Amino acid sequence: MSRTHDVHPYIPNSEPRVKRQMLDFLGMESSEDIYREIPEALRFRGTLDIPEPILSEYRLQRHVEALLKKNRNTKDNLCFLGGGTWKHHVPAVCDTIIGRDEFLTAYVGDAYSDHGKFQALFETSSMLGELTGFEACSTPTYDWGNAAAIACRMASRTLGRKEVLFARNSGPSRRSIVHNYCLPDIAVREIAYDPATGLLDLADLQRCLNADTAAVYFENPTYLGTIETQAEEICRLARSVGALVIVGADPTSLGVLEAPGLQGADYAVGDFQPLGLHMSYGGGLGGFICTRDSKAFVGEYPSLLFGICETSTEGEYGFGEVFYERTSYASREKGKDFIGTCAALHGIVAGVYLALMGPQGLVELGEGILQRVAYAKELLARIPGVKIAFDSISYSDFLVDFNGTGRTVADIDGALLDFGIFGGKDVSKDFPVGQSALFSITEVHEKEDIERLVAALTAICR
Partner 1 sequence: MAEPRIRKNFHQASWDEPIVYEMSTPGVRGILPPDVDEAIVEQVGDVAGRLPRGTRRASPPVLPELSQKHVLQHWIHLSQETMGSNLSNDLSEGTCTMKYNPRINETLAQDPGFAELHPDQDPTTVQGILEIFHKFQKVCLEISGMDAVTLQPGGGNHAVYTAASIVRAYHAARGEADQRDEVITTIFSHPCDAATPATAGYKIITIYPDERGIPDLEAIRAAASKRTAAIFMTNPEDIGIYNPHAAEITKILHSVGALCFYDQANANAFLGVARAKEAGFDMCHFNVHKTFGTPHGCSGPATGALCCRGFLARYLPVPVVESDGNRYWLDYDRPENIGKIRDYLGCAGVVLRAYAWTAMMGPRWLRECADVSVINNNYMQKIMETIPGVSSAFQGNGIARQEQIRYSFEKLKNDVNVGSEDMNRRMLDYGIPWFWSSHHPWLVPEPMTLEPCESYSKDDIEEYCAVVRKVAEEAYGNPAFVKNAPYHSVIHKRIHEEEFDDPDRWALTWKAYQKKHGRI
User: Taking Cα atoms as reference points, which of 449, 426, 321 lies closest to residue 379?
Assistant: 449
- Whose Cβ is closer to partner 1: residue 215's or residue 342's? 342
In angstroms, rounded to a whole number, what is the distance separating the alpha carbons of residues 333 and 345?
27
CB of 132 to partner 1, least distance (A): 9
- Whose Cβ is closer to partner 1: residue 107's or residue 384's? 107
Burial class (CB in 10 A: 0-12, 13-18, 19+), 146: buried
Give, for 360, the enclosing helix (H) or strand (E): helix 344-381
- Whose Cβ is closer to partner 1: residue 362's or residue 400's? 362
Strand pairing partners for 367? none
CB of 385 to partner 1, least distance (A): 22
Side by side, the strands of the sheet bearing 163-167 are 136-137, 287-291, 267-271, 244-249, 213-220, 163-167, 187-191
CB of 272 to partner 1, least distance (A): 10
CB of 53 to partner 1, least distance (A): 3
- Whose Cβ is closer to partner 1: residue 206's or residue 293's? 293
- Whose Cβ is closer to partner 1: residue 57's or residue 432's? 57
User: Taking Cα atoms as reference points, which of 337, 439, 346, 343 lies closest to residue 396?
Assistant: 439
CB of 242 to partner 1, least distance (A): 22
Strand pairing partners for 399? 438
Backbone angles phi, psi at 249, to 5 degrees: -130, 145
CB of 191 to partner 1, least distance (A): 19
Give, for 459, the enclosing helix (H) or strand (E): helix 447-461
- Whose Cβ is closer to partner 1: residue 285's or residue 399's? 285
C-beta neighbour count of 325 within 10 angstroms? 12
In angstroms, rounded to a whole number, what is the distance separating the alpha carbons of residues 108 and 79?
37
- Whose Cβ is closer to partner 1: residue 207's or residue 232's? 232
CB of 14 to partner 1, least distance (A): 5
DSSP 4: P
